[in-house]
Amino acid sequence: MNPLIPSDRDWPEDSSDENGNYLSHCSSCGLTFIGHKRRYICRKCQREHDAWWAAMSPEERERKKAENERATQEMFKKLFKTLDKDEQV
């Protein structure tokens, strides 16, 4: 894939921004895209995610949010445990 050829993974709406033409790797599919330097996901994956989210019932969305919240808390607990260990060495 040539990153210089525009693709449906790019964010053309970012291109006029000062930091809108960064070449990045999508954290979902791993492919390159051009967009704002703060974007971490390509436009194609974002659209797929939006469609997936829109197809869920409100109850499913709440359950998913709660799952994500728990997963984030677990990640931080593990991270801080690791940091504590490092300090004791």
Least Å from the CB of residue 75 to Zn ion? 21
Interface with Zn ion includes 34 (CB under 5 A)? no
Token pair listed for 43? 């436009």
Least Å from the CB of residue 62 to Zn ion? 26
* Cα–Cα distance for residue pair 78/58, rounded to 1 Å: 30
Secondary structure element (H or E) that encloses residue 33, with its range: strand 32-35
- Options 11, 24, 26, 35; binder of Zn ion; rule CB under 5 A: 26
Evaluate whether 30 touches 17 at the Cβ level (below 8 Å).
Answer: no
Using the rule CB under 5 A, give the single segment among 12-20, 25-33, 62-70, 80-88 that binds Zn ion.
25-33
